[in-house]
Amino acid sequence: MPVGGRVAGKVGIYSSVRDGGNLSGLNEEIIWCSIILSIIIAVLITVALCYLAREKCKKRNEYLAAT
């Protein structure tokens, strides 16, 4: 067995078997948390951009109504 407890040829969530325990569940949980956080950040950025666009259109409409 290679030094460090890693098995050659294994990649992704199936690597890092150490001390007889399997860490694939932990890795999978980290991956899912990262995906969910990325989606939340993308939604928040989209909401912020929509809000800015709405404010810009609102100011433009107020300016056109005043003239």
Burial environment of residue 17 by CB neighbours within 10 A (0 to 12, 13 to 18, 19 or more) = middle
Residue 37, pLDDT > 70, answer yes
> How far apart are the C-alpha atoms of 63 and 66, rounded to whole Å?
5
pLDDT range class, residue 66, cuts 50, 70, 90: confident
Q: What is the pLDDT of residue 50?
A: 97
Taking residues 45-52, report their average pLDDT: 97
Residue 53, pLDDT > 90, answer yes
